[in-house]
Structure 1
Amino acid sequence: MSSNAKSLADQIEDLLPQTQCTKCGYPACRPYAEAVASGAAGYNQCPPGGAEGIARLARLLGKLVIPLNPVNGVERPRPVAVIDESLCIGCTLCIQACPVDAIIGAAKQMHTVVPDLCTGCDLCVAPCPVDCIAMVDVTPGKTGWDAWSQAQADAARARHNAHVFRLRRDKEENDARLAAKAAAKLKAVEAESTLTPDEKAAQERKKAIIQAAMERARQKKEQMAAQAAGATGTIGVSDVSRSVKKQIEEINVKLEDVKDNS
Protein backbone atom coordinates (compact mmCIF):
# COMPACT_ATOMS: atom_id res chain seq x y z
CA MET A 1 0.00 0.00 0.00
CA SER A 2 1.47 3.38 -1.01
CA SER A 3 1.66 6.29 1.43
CA ASN A 4 -1.01 8.12 -0.62
CA ALA A 5 -3.43 5.23 -0.12
CA LYS A 6 -2.85 5.12 3.63
CA SER A 7 -5.04 6.94 6.11
CA LEU A 8 -3.54 9.78 8.11
CA ALA A 9 -3.53 7.55 11.20
CA ASP A 10 -1.58 4.90 9.27
CA GLN A 11 1.01 7.45 8.18
CA ILE A 12 1.38 8.82 11.71
CA GLU A 13 1.77 5.31 13.11
CA ASP A 14 4.56 4.63 10.61
CA LEU A 15 6.51 7.55 12.10
CA LEU A 16 6.31 6.29 15.69
CA PRO A 17 9.11 4.12 17.18
CA GLN A 18 6.59 1.43 18.22
CA THR A 19 7.85 1.00 21.79
CA GLN A 20 4.21 0.60 22.94
CA CYS A 21 5.28 2.33 26.17
CA THR A 22 1.98 4.21 26.84
CA LYS A 23 3.93 7.35 27.84
CA CYS A 24 1.89 9.28 25.28
CA GLY A 25 -1.17 8.66 27.43
CA TYR A 26 -2.64 5.99 25.18
CA PRO A 27 -2.53 2.17 25.56
CA ALA A 28 -0.34 1.64 22.46
CA CYS A 29 1.14 3.44 19.45
CA ARG A 30 -1.87 2.83 17.20
CA PRO A 31 -4.46 4.49 19.47
CA TYR A 32 -2.09 7.47 19.86
CA ALA A 33 -1.72 7.74 16.08
CA GLU A 34 -5.50 7.75 15.71
CA ALA A 35 -5.82 10.40 18.42
CA VAL A 36 -3.26 12.64 16.70
CA ALA A 37 -5.00 12.16 13.36
CA SER A 38 -8.34 13.20 14.86
CA GLY A 39 -6.86 16.14 16.72
CA ALA A 40 -7.58 14.64 20.14
CA ALA A 41 -3.86 14.43 21.05
CA GLY A 42 -0.81 16.55 20.40
CA TYR A 43 1.96 15.37 18.09
CA ASN A 44 4.56 16.06 20.79
CA GLN A 45 3.61 13.34 23.29
CA CYS A 46 6.05 10.55 22.32
CA PRO A 47 9.24 10.59 24.45
CA PRO A 48 10.86 7.61 22.68
CA GLY A 49 10.56 9.43 19.36
CA GLY A 50 12.00 12.58 20.89
CA ALA A 51 12.69 15.76 18.97
CA GLU A 52 13.27 13.88 15.73
CA GLY A 53 9.93 12.11 16.10
CA ILE A 54 8.15 15.42 16.62
CA ALA A 55 9.88 16.87 13.56
CA ARG A 56 8.75 13.92 11.44
CA LEU A 57 5.15 14.28 12.57
CA ALA A 58 5.26 18.05 12.10
CA ARG A 59 6.38 17.62 8.48
CA LEU A 60 3.58 15.15 7.83
CA LEU A 61 0.94 17.34 9.46
CA GLY A 62 2.24 20.62 8.04
CA LYS A 63 2.80 22.06 11.50
CA LEU A 64 5.64 23.75 13.37
CA VAL A 65 8.20 21.73 15.31
CA ILE A 66 7.44 22.16 19.01
CA PRO A 67 9.12 20.83 22.19
CA LEU A 68 8.25 17.48 23.72
CA ASN A 69 5.46 17.80 26.26
CA PRO A 70 7.18 17.31 29.65
CA VAL A 71 4.00 15.78 31.05
CA ASN A 72 4.71 12.71 28.92
CA GLY A 73 8.36 12.33 29.95
CA VAL A 74 11.81 13.17 28.66
CA GLU A 75 13.86 12.08 25.69
CA ARG A 76 16.56 9.64 26.77
CA PRO A 77 18.84 6.86 25.52
CA ARG A 78 17.01 3.65 24.67
CA PRO A 79 17.00 1.29 27.68
CA VAL A 80 16.64 -2.48 27.92
CA ALA A 81 15.11 -4.32 30.87
CA VAL A 82 17.44 -6.60 32.82
CA ILE A 83 16.15 -9.08 35.42
CA ASP A 84 18.24 -10.00 38.47
CA GLU A 85 17.66 -13.71 38.13
CA SER A 86 18.81 -14.39 41.70
CA LEU A 87 15.87 -12.37 43.03
CA CYS A 88 13.19 -13.37 40.51
CA ILE A 89 10.36 -15.40 42.09
CA GLY A 90 8.65 -16.38 38.85
CA CYS A 91 5.41 -14.45 39.48
CA THR A 92 4.90 -13.83 35.70
CA LEU A 93 3.65 -10.26 36.30
CA CYS A 94 6.40 -8.83 34.10
CA ILE A 95 5.53 -11.28 31.32
CA GLN A 96 1.92 -10.16 31.45
CA ALA A 97 2.98 -6.49 31.33
CA CYS A 98 5.35 -6.79 28.35
CA PRO A 99 3.59 -5.54 25.20
CA VAL A 100 5.97 -7.24 22.77
CA ASP A 101 6.54 -10.64 24.43
CA ALA A 102 10.21 -9.96 25.11
CA ILE A 103 10.30 -11.81 28.46
CA ILE A 104 10.71 -15.56 28.69
CA GLY A 105 9.72 -17.63 31.73
CA ALA A 106 6.99 -19.61 33.43
CA ALA A 107 5.14 -19.56 36.74
CA LYS A 108 7.50 -20.14 39.68
CA GLN A 109 10.45 -20.28 37.26
CA MET A 110 13.17 -17.70 36.72
CA HIS A 111 12.42 -15.14 33.97
CA THR A 112 14.80 -13.46 31.55
CA VAL A 113 14.55 -10.64 28.99
CA VAL A 114 15.56 -11.12 25.36
CA PRO A 115 17.52 -7.87 24.79
CA ASP A 116 16.98 -7.74 21.03
CA LEU A 117 13.19 -7.89 21.54
CA CYS A 118 12.90 -5.39 24.41
CA THR A 119 11.63 -1.92 23.42
CA GLY A 120 12.60 -0.30 26.73
CA CYS A 121 9.00 0.59 27.53
CA ASP A 122 9.49 0.33 31.35
CA LEU A 123 6.10 -1.39 31.74
CA CYS A 124 7.58 -4.48 33.43
CA VAL A 125 9.25 -2.52 36.24
CA ALA A 126 6.27 -1.37 38.30
CA PRO A 127 4.45 -4.74 38.57
CA CYS A 128 7.54 -6.60 39.87
CA PRO A 129 6.88 -7.35 43.58
CA VAL A 130 10.55 -7.94 44.42
CA ASP A 131 12.02 -5.01 42.48
CA CYS A 132 14.39 -7.22 40.50
CA ILE A 133 14.13 -5.41 37.14
CA ALA A 134 16.47 -2.59 36.12
CA MET A 135 16.40 -0.48 32.97
CA VAL A 136 19.90 -0.26 31.46
CA ASP A 137 20.76 2.26 28.73
CA VAL A 138 22.13 0.54 25.64
CA THR A 139 22.57 3.59 23.39
CA PRO A 140 24.66 6.07 25.46
CA GLY A 141 24.74 9.47 23.81
CA LYS A 142 21.98 8.54 21.35
CA THR A 143 18.34 9.41 22.07
CA GLY A 144 15.02 9.40 20.22
CA TRP A 145 15.19 8.05 16.69
CA ASP A 146 19.01 8.16 16.86
CA ALA A 147 18.71 5.30 19.37
CA TRP A 148 16.15 3.44 17.30
CA SER A 149 15.93 2.14 13.74
CA GLN A 150 13.02 1.70 11.38
CA ALA A 151 13.72 -2.04 11.20
CA GLN A 152 13.51 -2.28 15.00
CA ALA A 153 10.27 -0.29 15.02
CA ASP A 154 8.72 -2.49 12.33
CA ALA A 155 9.70 -5.65 14.21
CA ALA A 156 8.33 -4.28 17.50
CA ARG A 157 5.02 -3.40 15.83
CA ALA A 158 4.73 -6.91 14.40
CA ARG A 159 5.39 -8.48 17.81
CA HIS A 160 2.87 -6.17 19.48
CA ASN A 161 0.22 -7.04 16.90
CA ALA A 162 0.91 -10.75 17.48
CA HIS A 163 0.70 -10.16 21.26
CA VAL A 164 -2.69 -8.44 20.95
CA PHE A 165 -3.98 -11.16 18.62
CA ARG A 166 -2.90 -13.89 21.06
CA LEU A 167 -4.58 -12.20 24.02
CA ARG A 168 -7.78 -11.73 22.03
CA ARG A 169 -7.72 -15.36 20.87
CA ASP A 170 -7.09 -16.65 24.41
CA LYS A 171 -10.00 -14.55 25.74
CA GLU A 172 -12.34 -15.78 23.03
CA GLU A 173 -11.38 -19.40 23.68
CA ASN A 174 -11.85 -18.96 27.44
CA ASP A 175 -15.21 -17.26 26.91
CA ALA A 176 -16.25 -20.13 24.63
CA ARG A 177 -15.29 -22.69 27.28
CA LEU A 178 -17.23 -20.84 29.96
CA ALA A 179 -20.25 -20.51 27.66
CA ALA A 180 -20.15 -24.23 26.83
CA LYS A 181 -19.88 -25.12 30.51
CA ALA A 182 -22.82 -22.87 31.38
CA ALA A 183 -24.88 -24.31 28.53
CA ALA A 184 -24.15 -27.88 29.65
CA LYS A 185 -25.11 -27.02 33.22
CA LEU A 186 -28.33 -25.39 32.05
CA LYS A 187 -29.12 -28.39 29.87
CA ALA A 188 -28.58 -30.73 32.80
CA VAL A 189 -30.85 -28.65 35.03
CA GLU A 190 -33.53 -28.53 32.34
CA ALA A 191 -33.27 -32.27 31.76
CA GLU A 192 -33.59 -32.97 35.47
CA SER A 193 -36.61 -30.69 35.79
CA THR A 194 -38.47 -32.66 33.10
CA LEU A 195 -37.97 -36.08 34.71
CA THR A 196 -41.04 -38.01 35.79
CA PRO A 197 -41.33 -39.11 39.43
CA ASP A 198 -40.30 -42.64 38.42
CA GLU A 199 -37.25 -41.33 36.54
CA LYS A 200 -36.26 -39.13 39.47
CA ALA A 201 -36.60 -42.09 41.83
CA ALA A 202 -34.44 -44.23 39.51
CA GLN A 203 -31.85 -41.46 39.34
CA GLU A 204 -31.76 -41.15 43.11
CA ARG A 205 -31.41 -44.92 43.51
CA LYS A 206 -28.47 -44.84 41.10
CA LYS A 207 -26.86 -42.04 43.12
CA ALA A 208 -27.43 -44.05 46.30
CA ILE A 209 -25.74 -47.11 44.82
CA ILE A 210 -22.75 -45.05 43.69
CA GLN A 211 -22.45 -43.35 47.08
CA ALA A 212 -22.72 -46.71 48.83
CA ALA A 213 -19.97 -48.13 46.62
CA MET A 214 -17.75 -45.15 47.42
CA GLU A 215 -18.43 -45.59 51.13
CA ARG A 216 -17.64 -49.30 50.89
CA ALA A 217 -14.34 -48.52 49.17
CA ARG A 218 -13.48 -45.92 51.80
CA GLN A 219 -14.15 -48.29 54.67
CA LYS A 220 -12.25 -51.08 52.96
CA LYS A 221 -9.27 -48.74 52.58
CA GLU A 222 -9.43 -47.85 56.28
CA GLN A 223 -9.67 -51.54 57.18
CA MET A 224 -6.58 -52.40 55.15
CA ALA A 225 -4.67 -49.48 56.67
CA ALA A 226 -5.60 -50.58 60.19
CA GLN A 227 -4.56 -54.17 59.49
CA ALA A 228 -1.24 -53.01 58.11
CA ALA A 229 -0.62 -51.05 61.31
CA GLY A 230 -1.55 -54.02 63.48
CA ALA A 231 -4.71 -52.41 64.75
CA THR A 232 -7.51 -54.41 66.35
CA GLY A 233 -11.29 -54.10 66.31
CA THR A 234 -11.54 -53.21 62.61
CA ILE A 235 -14.79 -53.52 60.75
CA GLY A 236 -15.28 -56.87 59.05
CA VAL A 237 -16.27 -57.25 55.42
CA SER A 238 -19.60 -58.78 56.31
CA ASP A 239 -20.32 -55.90 58.72
CA VAL A 240 -19.49 -53.38 56.02
CA SER A 241 -21.78 -55.12 53.55
CA ARG A 242 -24.68 -55.13 55.99
CA SER A 243 -24.10 -51.48 56.84
CA VAL A 244 -24.03 -50.42 53.21
CA LYS A 245 -27.02 -52.59 52.38
CA LYS A 246 -28.99 -50.99 55.19
CA GLN A 247 -28.19 -47.49 53.84
CA ILE A 248 -29.45 -48.42 50.38
CA GLU A 249 -32.64 -49.92 51.82
CA GLU A 250 -33.35 -46.81 53.89
CA ILE A 251 -32.85 -44.53 50.88
CA ASN A 252 -35.09 -46.68 48.70
CA VAL A 253 -37.84 -46.64 51.34
CA LYS A 254 -37.74 -42.83 51.37
CA LEU A 255 -37.84 -42.74 47.57
CA GLU A 256 -40.87 -45.01 47.50
CA ASP A 257 -42.61 -42.70 49.97
CA VAL A 258 -41.85 -39.74 47.73
CA LYS A 259 -43.18 -41.65 44.71
CA ASP A 260 -46.40 -42.58 46.52
CA ASN A 261 -47.00 -38.97 47.55
CA SER A 262 -46.34 -37.57 44.05
Structure 2
Amino acid sequence: MLVAIVTLSALTVFCGLILGYAHLHFKVKGNPIVDQINALLPQTQCGQCGYPGCQPYAQAIAADEVDINCCPPGGEATIIALANLLVRDPKPLDPQKEEKPKALAVIDENLCIGCTLCIQACPVDAILGAPRYLHTVIVAECTGCELCVAPCPIDCIDMVPITNQSTTWKWPYPNPNIEQAQKSQKDVRLISLKY
Protein backbone atom coordinates (compact mmCIF):
# COMPACT_ATOMS: atom_id res chain seq x y z
CA MET A 1 0.00 0.00 0.00
CA LEU A 2 2.82 2.45 0.84
CA VAL A 3 4.51 1.68 -2.51
CA ALA A 4 1.30 2.53 -4.39
CA ILE A 5 0.93 5.87 -2.57
CA VAL A 6 4.58 6.81 -3.22
CA THR A 7 4.29 5.78 -6.89
CA LEU A 8 1.05 7.73 -7.35
CA SER A 9 2.57 10.82 -5.64
CA ALA A 10 5.68 10.62 -7.83
CA LEU A 11 3.50 10.29 -10.96
CA THR A 12 1.45 13.33 -9.86
CA VAL A 13 4.59 15.43 -9.31
CA PHE A 14 6.00 14.31 -12.68
CA CYS A 15 2.76 15.23 -14.52
CA GLY A 16 2.67 18.59 -12.70
CA LEU A 17 6.23 19.36 -13.85
CA ILE A 18 5.35 18.49 -17.46
CA LEU A 19 2.23 20.69 -17.36
CA GLY A 20 4.22 23.55 -15.79
CA TYR A 21 6.90 23.29 -18.50
CA ALA A 22 4.26 23.19 -21.24
CA HIS A 23 2.48 26.21 -19.75
CA LEU A 24 5.66 28.29 -19.75
CA HIS A 25 7.12 27.27 -23.10
CA PHE A 26 4.03 26.77 -25.27
CA LYS A 27 1.97 29.71 -24.00
CA VAL A 28 0.29 31.77 -26.71
CA LYS A 29 1.10 35.42 -26.17
CA GLY A 30 -2.04 37.42 -26.81
CA ASN A 31 -5.09 36.42 -28.75
CA PRO A 32 -4.28 35.37 -32.34
CA ILE A 33 -7.74 36.41 -33.57
CA VAL A 34 -7.12 39.94 -32.23
CA ASP A 35 -3.89 40.07 -34.26
CA GLN A 36 -5.74 38.94 -37.40
CA ILE A 37 -8.50 41.52 -36.88
CA ASN A 38 -5.93 44.25 -36.20
CA ALA A 39 -4.09 43.36 -39.42
CA LEU A 40 -7.29 44.03 -41.41
CA LEU A 41 -7.89 47.44 -39.85
CA PRO A 42 -6.44 50.53 -41.61
CA GLN A 43 -4.07 51.46 -38.72
CA THR A 44 -5.04 55.13 -38.81
CA GLN A 45 -5.30 55.25 -34.97
CA CYS A 46 -7.92 57.95 -35.49
CA GLY A 47 -10.39 57.01 -32.78
CA GLN A 48 -13.43 57.42 -35.07
CA CYS A 49 -14.62 53.94 -34.01
CA GLY A 50 -14.89 55.08 -30.39
CA TYR A 51 -11.65 53.40 -29.30
CA PRO A 52 -8.23 55.09 -28.97
CA GLY A 53 -6.68 53.01 -31.76
CA CYS A 54 -7.02 49.99 -34.01
CA GLN A 55 -5.65 47.47 -31.48
CA PRO A 56 -8.25 48.28 -28.76
CA TYR A 57 -11.00 48.18 -31.41
CA ALA A 58 -9.75 44.76 -32.56
CA GLN A 59 -9.82 43.53 -28.95
CA ALA A 60 -13.39 44.78 -28.56
CA ILE A 61 -14.48 43.04 -31.78
CA ALA A 62 -12.87 39.77 -30.65
CA ALA A 63 -14.67 40.03 -27.28
CA ASP A 64 -18.03 40.74 -29.05
CA GLU A 65 -18.29 44.12 -27.31
CA VAL A 66 -18.72 46.07 -30.53
CA ASP A 67 -19.82 45.39 -34.09
CA ILE A 68 -17.54 45.18 -37.14
CA ASN A 69 -19.04 48.23 -38.89
CA CYS A 70 -17.62 51.10 -36.81
CA CYS A 71 -14.45 51.98 -38.80
CA PRO A 72 -15.04 54.89 -41.23
CA PRO A 73 -11.47 54.93 -42.66
CA GLY A 74 -11.67 51.21 -43.43
CA GLY A 75 -15.10 51.55 -44.99
CA GLU A 76 -16.92 48.78 -46.78
CA ALA A 77 -13.78 46.85 -47.77
CA THR A 78 -12.69 46.46 -44.13
CA ILE A 79 -16.19 45.48 -43.02
CA ILE A 80 -16.32 42.75 -45.68
CA ALA A 81 -12.83 41.49 -44.76
CA LEU A 82 -13.76 41.36 -41.05
CA ALA A 83 -17.04 39.59 -41.84
CA ASN A 84 -15.17 36.97 -43.88
CA LEU A 85 -12.59 36.45 -41.12
CA LEU A 86 -15.16 36.15 -38.34
CA VAL A 87 -17.76 34.30 -40.44
CA ARG A 88 -20.41 36.98 -39.94
CA ASP A 89 -22.77 38.75 -42.28
CA PRO A 90 -21.37 42.07 -43.55
CA LYS A 91 -23.28 45.17 -42.50
CA PRO A 92 -23.28 48.70 -43.85
CA LEU A 93 -21.18 51.28 -42.04
CA ASP A 94 -22.73 52.47 -38.78
CA PRO A 95 -25.10 55.31 -39.73
CA GLN A 96 -23.62 57.51 -36.97
CA LYS A 97 -20.23 57.34 -38.71
CA GLU A 98 -19.33 58.96 -42.02
CA GLU A 99 -17.08 57.30 -44.61
CA LYS A 100 -14.70 59.87 -46.03
CA PRO A 101 -12.25 59.65 -48.91
CA LYS A 102 -8.63 59.09 -47.94
CA ALA A 103 -6.93 62.39 -47.22
CA LEU A 104 -3.54 63.78 -46.32
CA ALA A 105 -2.80 66.56 -43.83
CA VAL A 106 -1.07 69.55 -45.40
CA ILE A 107 0.37 72.37 -43.29
CA ASP A 108 0.47 75.87 -44.75
CA GLU A 109 4.08 76.64 -43.90
CA ASN A 110 3.56 80.39 -44.37
CA LEU A 111 1.03 80.44 -41.52
CA CYS A 112 2.54 77.86 -39.15
CA ILE A 113 3.73 79.39 -35.87
CA GLY A 114 5.47 76.26 -34.54
CA CYS A 115 3.21 75.69 -31.55
CA THR A 116 3.73 71.84 -31.64
CA LEU A 117 0.06 71.15 -30.80
CA CYS A 118 -0.34 69.19 -34.03
CA ILE A 119 2.76 67.12 -33.26
CA GLN A 120 1.32 66.22 -29.86
CA ALA A 121 -2.02 65.24 -31.41
CA CYS A 122 -0.62 63.05 -34.20
CA PRO A 123 -0.96 59.37 -33.18
CA VAL A 124 1.58 58.12 -35.74
CA ASP A 125 4.29 60.81 -35.51
CA ALA A 126 3.76 61.98 -39.06
CA ILE A 127 4.46 65.66 -38.33
CA LEU A 128 8.00 66.97 -38.19
CA GLY A 129 8.99 70.23 -36.55
CA ALA A 130 10.28 71.98 -33.45
CA PRO A 131 8.91 74.68 -31.13
CA ARG A 132 8.70 78.07 -32.83
CA TYR A 133 9.75 76.58 -36.20
CA LEU A 134 7.50 75.61 -39.04
CA HIS A 135 6.14 72.08 -39.17
CA THR A 136 5.63 69.74 -42.09
CA VAL A 137 3.85 66.45 -42.68
CA ILE A 138 5.74 63.29 -43.60
CA VAL A 139 3.53 62.15 -46.47
CA ALA A 140 4.44 58.46 -46.24
CA GLU A 141 3.46 58.36 -42.54
CA CYS A 142 0.24 60.41 -42.55
CA THR A 143 -2.88 58.25 -42.16
CA GLY A 144 -5.38 61.06 -42.70
CA CYS A 145 -6.96 60.70 -39.25
CA GLU A 146 -7.62 64.49 -38.96
CA LEU A 147 -6.60 64.56 -35.27
CA CYS A 148 -4.07 67.32 -35.97
CA VAL A 149 -6.64 69.73 -37.45
CA ALA A 150 -8.65 70.64 -34.32
CA PRO A 151 -5.72 71.56 -32.01
CA CYS A 152 -4.17 74.00 -34.52
CA PRO A 153 -4.86 77.51 -33.11
CA ILE A 154 -4.51 79.28 -36.46
CA ASP A 155 -6.18 76.71 -38.77
CA CYS A 156 -3.15 76.23 -41.00
CA ILE A 157 -3.76 72.47 -41.52
CA ASP A 158 -5.96 71.30 -44.39
CA MET A 159 -7.01 67.78 -45.28
CA VAL A 160 -6.42 67.23 -48.98
CA PRO A 161 -8.20 64.23 -50.55
CA ILE A 162 -5.88 61.68 -52.14
CA THR A 163 -6.99 60.68 -55.60
CA ASN A 164 -5.79 57.53 -57.28
CA GLN A 165 -3.78 58.59 -60.27
CA SER A 166 -1.27 56.68 -62.32
CA THR A 167 1.50 58.11 -60.13
CA THR A 168 -0.14 57.37 -56.75
CA TRP A 169 -2.03 54.14 -57.41
CA LYS A 170 -0.44 50.94 -56.17
CA TRP A 171 -1.36 47.30 -56.55
CA PRO A 172 -3.41 46.16 -53.58
CA TYR A 173 -1.08 43.26 -52.91
CA PRO A 174 2.63 43.10 -53.67
CA ASN A 175 3.29 40.85 -56.62
CA PRO A 176 6.94 39.85 -56.95
CA ASN A 177 6.46 38.85 -60.60
CA ILE A 178 5.22 42.32 -61.54
CA GLU A 179 7.96 44.02 -59.51
CA GLN A 180 10.60 41.84 -61.20
CA ALA A 181 9.15 42.60 -64.64
CA GLN A 182 9.18 46.34 -63.92
CA LYS A 183 12.77 46.14 -62.68
CA SER A 184 13.92 44.24 -65.76
CA GLN A 185 12.15 46.80 -68.00
CA LYS A 186 14.07 49.59 -66.24
CA ASP A 187 17.32 47.66 -66.71
CA VAL A 188 16.61 47.25 -70.43
CA ARG A 189 15.83 50.99 -70.77
CA LEU A 190 19.04 51.92 -68.95
CA ILE A 191 21.11 49.61 -71.13
CA SER A 192 19.53 50.99 -74.30
CA LEU A 193 20.21 54.57 -73.14
CA LYS A 194 23.90 53.77 -72.64
CA TYR A 195 24.35 52.61 -76.24
Which residue pairs with 1:108 in the alignment? 132
Which consecutive unaligned segments of at least 5 residues does structure 2 have? 1-29, 175-195
TM-score, normalised to structure 1, is: 0.51
> Alpha carbons of 1:112 and 1:12: their partners in 2 closer, same or farther (altered >3 Å)?
same
| Cα distance per residue 1:55-81 (max 9 Å; x no partner) | 00001111111100122322x321000
* Root mean square deviation of aligned Cα: 2.2
Select which of 68, 73, 96 maps to 2:120: 96
Quick one: percent identity of the two aligned structures? 56
Which consecutive unaligned segments of at least 5 residues does structure 1 have? 152-262
| Cα distance per residue 1:200-244 (max 9 Å; x no partner) | xxxxxxxxxxxxxxxxxxxxxxxxxxxxxxxxxxxxxxxxxxxxx
CA contact under 8 A between 1:78 and 1:148: conserved in structure 2?
Answer: no
Q: Which has the higher helix share?
A: 1
TM-score, normalised to structure 2, is: 0.68
Alpha-carbon deviation of 1:148? Answer: 9.6
Which residue pairs with 1:10 in the alignment? 35
Residue 45 (str. 1) matches residue 70 (str. 2)? yes
Q: Which is worse superposed, 124-133 or 5-14?
A: 5-14
CA contact under 8 A between 1:82 and 1:136: conserved in structure 2?
Answer: yes
Q: Number of paired residues?
A: 142
CA contact under 8 A between 1:77 and 1:147: conserved in structure 2?
Answer: no
Distance 2:66 2:170 in 1: 24
Alpha-carbon deviation of 1:140? Answer: 5.1
Which residue pairs with 1:55 in the alignment? 80
Structure 1 stretches of at least 4 aligned residues deviating more than 3 Å after TM superposition: 146-151
Distance 1:37 1:117 in 2: 27
Query: How do residues 62-81 of structure 1 correspond to structure 2 at under 5 angstroms?
Result: 62-74=87-99, 76-81=100-105
Alpha-carbon deviation of 1:85? Answer: 0.8
SS in 2 for 1:60: helix
Distance 1:129 1:148 in 2: 38
Which residue pairs with 2:154 in the alignment? 130
Largest Rg, 1 or 2: 1
> Alpha carbons of 1:114 and 1:23: their partners in 2 closer, same or farther (altered >3 Å)?
same
CA contact under 8 A between 1:93 and 1:128: conserved in structure 2?
Answer: yes
Alpha-carbon deviation of 1:39? Answer: 0.8
Distance 2:154 2:34 in 1: 39
> Alpha carbons of 1:102 and 1:148: their partners in 2 closer, same or farther (altered >3 Å)?
farther
Alpha-carbon deviation of 1:150? Answer: 6.9
Query: How do residues 183-262 of structure 1 correspond to structure 2 at under 5 angstroms?
Result: none
> Alpha carbons of 1:10 and 1:120: their partners in 2 closer, same or farther (altered >3 Å)?
same
Alpha-carbon deviation of 1:33? Answer: 0.2
| Cα distance per residue 1:156-200 (max 9 Å; x no partner) | xxxxxxxxxxxxxxxxxxxxxxxxxxxxxxxxxxxxxxxxxxxxx
Amino acid at match of 1:23: Q
Distance 1:12 1:34 in 2: 8
Select which of 50, 54, 61 maps to 1:36: 61
SS in 2 for 1:71: coil
Which residue pairs with 2:108 in the alignment? 84
Distance 1:81 1:12 in 2: 27
